[in-house]
Amino acid sequence: MPDILHMRMEDMRVSHKAHGAYAYTKRTFVGRGAGKTLVCIYEIPPGKSAYPYHYHLKDEETFHILSGEGLLRTPQGERQVAAGDFLHFPAGPEGAHKLTNTGCSPLVYLDFDVIHDLDVCFYPDSGKLAVWGKDVNRVYPADANVDYYQGE
């Protein structure tokens, strides 16, 4: 039987990513491999996004904005979000999203995901797809295609 997790935020594993218009600090409470959920706290600097516009085929994401404000892009358009808002992104193209910090202070949110052993993530703006899980972490051009028997 797995142990119950109890952790203070300052004791969570911290990682940082930055690339052009994208940057974040992530504190991981429940990471991949711990079960069917992923729980992290993200902090996005002003003017940045954590991730490009994307959607998952299997995984679902739920955010609770803890502080700050941002611009949320979805298939329905753009809208402002702020502290206190809850956001849910279902699996599939209808759950596509990108969150950008439009404020002067960090945008901080709790990210609670229902995850699967394997997931495919699509990036409509850049024409990529990614395969995550089961020790796979790969990104490909979405239009790459080979014959099923190539190399056999």
Burial 58-87 (b: 16+ CB within 10 A, else e): bbbbebebbebbbbbbbeeeeeebeeebeb
Structural domain includes residue 39: yes
pLDDT band at 33 (very low <50, low <70, confident <90, very high): low
pLDDT digits (tens, 9 = 90+) for 68-103: 999 999 999 999 999 999 999 999 999 999 999 999
Structural domain includes residue 144: no
Structural domain includes residue 124: no
* Model confidence, pTM: 0.90
Average pLDDT, the chain: 92
pLDDT, mean of residues 31-51: 88
| Cβ atoms of 80 and 5 closer than 8 Å | no
Structural domain includes residue 20: yes
Structural domain includes residue 149: no
pLDDT exceeds 80 at position 55: yes
pLDDT exceeds 60 at position 1: no
Determine the pLDDT at residue 134: 78
pLDDT exceeds 60 at position 64: yes
Domain CATH code at residue 25: 2.60.120.10
Query: Residue 46 belongs to what domain range?
Result: 9-117
Tokens of 22: 């994208």
Structural domain includes residue 67: yes
Burial tier of 24 (Cβ tally within 10 Å: 0-12, 13-18, 19+): buried
Determine the pLDDT at residue 147: 86
Q: Pick the residue with more confidence: 38 or 99?
A: 99
pLDDT, mean of residues 37-50: 95
pLDDT, mean of residues 23-34: 82
Structural domain includes residue 123: no
- The proportion of the chain whose per-residue pLDDT surpasses 70, expressed as a percent, equals 95
pLDDT exceeds 90 at position 136: no
Number of domains in the chain: 1
Structural domain includes residue 93: yes
Q: DSSP assignment, residue 5?
A: P
Round to whole Å and give the CA distance between 149 and 152.
5
Q: What is the 3-state secondary structure (H, E, C) of 100-142?
A: EECCCCCEEEEEEEECCCCEEEEECCCCEEEEEECCEEEEEEC
